[in-house]
Amino acid sequence: MSFGAQFLSAPRRLSAGRERDPWGDASVALHLVGGPYLFSGLSREQEAAVRERFAGFCSPDRDPARAAVECRVSRADADEFLAFDVRGWEMTLDFDRSKEAVSVAGLDLMARIEWRPALSAVVWTATRGGAGFVGILENVFRVLAAYRLLEIGGVLLHSTAMAREGGAWVLVGRSGAGKSTLARLGVAQGGAVLSDDLNALVPSRTGFEVEGVPFAGDFRAPSSQTRTLAGIGLLEQGSRSRLTPVPRARALAGVLSCAPYVNQDPHRLDSLLCNADRLLSAAPVGRFTFALGADVWSCLGEPVLA
Amino acid sequence: MIAPETVFRLRSDVRFRRLEPEGVVVRQTEPEVLVVNDLAARILEKLDGTRSLSAIVEAFASDYDVDRAVLERDVTAFVGELHDGRIIESVADER
């Protein structure tokens, strides 16, 4: 199936019409790791919906010159998107990746991410506002954040990040690995969760820092919260709670398989490998299994890792 | 049957990292991340687009105390699997 065929009536028409009208002159700047991210070209209705959804991340500074990444929203016609029955449909995005750009198609959206002159994006949609519009923007924002983190030496990981005292542990695992269950357990035992779905890891002067991002998950980051990275655990099914050493190659494989969007981009794989290598050198890494009712914090505190 | 003079290299959509004692192979088209053992990682390291299969067998023959015919059979079989799995390609194929 060619790019966008599931979602777009004429994929080439949308990408060719890049200079279309914006929805309006409103904008929102979001202060998130790798940002600020400026979303411009919004109508007042769209702006209000985005502000409500990302309330804890809104920044008063909306100067495009100070934005690290700009995402412009443009109008598209409703008949440019294919209507289909979404009952039982699991949200997916379609990608077309090249050295210069990444095109994204999804339900009522198409976007193009470019690196020149700086990382930026254009989103085309026919959705006027409300929750539907926020969902569209969020779908693009997740992808954009993953590429931005890659650009600054970091990585976005499917994970639960939690902390009790001091630094945060990042427990990496794909859907069904137990991220949300573990997060609930960690909170019940006196800890705090940054996010139980996606967390950003970025290099700092002393190693790496963790920041929860406000996308999916039961525990969404309400605002920008940064912690020093204490360690990384690869979540696996197990009958008892423990943290055990894991060979470096398996740790790298675990991290790569949980780095959404960018891990399927052949043009940026070397950057991902480089960032993941650096991440694994900066913190202890182990295999983490947990049992319901066990004290997860005492396991994470065990000095079993080099 | 793979000819002994065949020279292989990783395909352009595959990346390999040696992290002793193992190695990681990333296949983008699948997509898939594989962890390979030490011996497989050593063979992959040598599939660099310059050495023939017979040269690789020769290098291993000097490192391991094993029957040369057995070594040749095993290395050739593994390289064949890598080729069939679209992890490596023959340099000649690309010309």
Counting one residue from chain A and one from chain B, the pairs whose CB atoms sit within 8 A come to: 42
Which of A249, A256, A277 lies closest to B22 in CB terms? A249
Label residue A276 left, alpha or beta by phi (over 0 means left) and psi (-120 to 50 means alpha). alpha
Asked if residue A1 is part of any domain, the answer here is no
**Interface contact A253, partner B, CB < 8 A:** yes
Do A123 and A163 reside in the same domain of the chain? Answer: no
Do A163 and A282 reside in the same domain of the chain? Answer: yes
Say yes or no for a CB contact (<8 Å) between B35 and A273: no
Please say which residue of A122, A151, A180 terminates a domain: A151
Structural domain harbouring B61: 7-94
Provide the residue type at B73 as one letter.
Answer: R
Asked if the model's pLDDT at residue A21 lies above 70, the reply is yes
- B67 with B8: CB under 8 angstroms? no
Asked if residue B2 is part of any domain, the answer here is no
> Of A298, A302, A293, nearest to A188 (Cα)?
A293
Which of A253, A264, A270 lies closest to B35 in CB terms? A253
Q: Which residues of A touch B26 (CB under 8 A)?
A: 256, 269, 273
Provide the residue type at A15 as one letter.
Answer: S
Please say which residue of A90, A120, A151 terminates a domain: A151
Do A122 and A182 reside in the same domain of the chain? Answer: no
Q: Give pLDDT, residue A175.
A: 79
Structural domain harbouring A174: 155-300
Asked if residue B45 is part of any domain, the answer here is yes
Do A199 and A116 reside in the same domain of the chain? Answer: no
Encoding tokens for residue B62? 């000097």
For the segment B44-62, what is each residue's pLDDT rounded down to a tens digit?
Answer: 999 999 999 999 999 999 8
Asked if residue B1 is part of any domain, the answer here is no
**ipTM score assigned to the predicted complex:** 0.81
Task: Return the residue of B nearest to A260 by Cα.
Answer: B31
**Of A77-81, A297-301, B34-38, minimum mean pLDDT range:** A297-301
Asked if the model's pLDDT at residue A115 lies above 80, the reply is yes
Looking at CA atoms only, how far is residue B39 from chain A in angstroms? Answer: 14
Which of B13, B22, B24 lies closest to A266 in CB terms? B13
Task: Give how far Cα A132 sits from Cα of A37, A50, A128, A136, A221, Å.
Answer: 20, 11, 8, 6, 21
Asked if residue B29 is part of any domain, the answer here is yes
**Interface contact A277, partner B, CB < 8 A:** yes
Looking at CA atoms only, how far is residue A38 from chain B in angstroms? Answer: 31
Average pLDDT, chain B: 91
Q: Which residues of B touch A249 (CB under 8 A)?
A: 17, 19, 22-24, 35-36
How confident is residue B64, by pLDDT bands cut at 50, 70 and 90? Answer: confident
- Which residues, including other chains, have CB under 8 Å from residue A198's CB and lie 6 or more apart? A142, A156, A157, A158, A159, A212, A213, A215, A216, A217, A260
Q: Which residues of A touch B35 (CB under 8 A)?
A: 247, 249-250, 253
Which DSSP string do the residues of B66-90 spell out, in sequence order? Answer: S-HHHHHHHHHHHHHHHHHTTSEEE
What pTM, to 2 d.p., does this model score? Answer: 0.90
Asked if residue A104 is part of any domain, the answer here is yes
Do A289 and A161 reside in the same domain of the chain? Answer: yes
Do A166 and A280 reside in the same domain of the chain? Answer: yes
CA-to-CA distance for B79 and B84, rounded, in angstroms?
Answer: 9
- A269 with A147: CB under 8 angstroms? no
CATH number of the CATH domain containing A195: 3.90.228.20
Do A237 and A252 reside in the same domain of the chain? Answer: yes
> Of A194, A195, A53, A58, nearest to A136 (Cα)?
A53
Asked if the model's pLDDT at residue A236 lies above 90, the reply is no
Say yes or no for a CB contact (<8 Å) between A249 and B31: no
Asked if residue B49 is part of any domain, the answer here is yes
CATH number of the CATH domain containing B79: 3.90.930.60
Number of structural domains in chain B: 1
Please say which residue of A123, A151, A179 terminates a domain: A151
Encoding tokens for residue A293? 């009712």
Tell me the angle at which helices B53-63 and B38-46 cross, rounded to the nearest 10 degrees.
140
Number of structural domains in chain A: 2
Asked if the model's pLDDT at residue A306 lies above 50, the reply is no
For the segment A44-97, what is each residue's pLDDT rounded down to a tens digit?
Answer: 999 999 999 999 899 888 788 889 999 999 999 999 999 888 888 888 999 999
Sequence-ordered alpha helix ranges (H) in chain A: 11-16, 44-53, 130-151, 179-188, 248-257, 269-282, 296-300
For the segment A158-210, what is each residue's pLDDT rounded down to a tens digit?
Answer: 999 999 888 999 999 877 888 888 899 888 988 899 999 999 999 999 999 99
Q: Give pLDDT, residue B94.
A: 58
Do A226 and A209 reside in the same domain of the chain? Answer: yes
Say yes or no for a CB contact (<8 Å) between A264 and B28: yes
How confident is residue B31, by pLDDT bands cut at 50, 70 and 90? Answer: confident
What element of type H or E holds A287? strand A285-289
Asked if residue A91 is part of any domain, the answer here is yes
Do A105 and A212 reside in the same domain of the chain? Answer: no
Average pLDDT of the residues in B85-92? 92
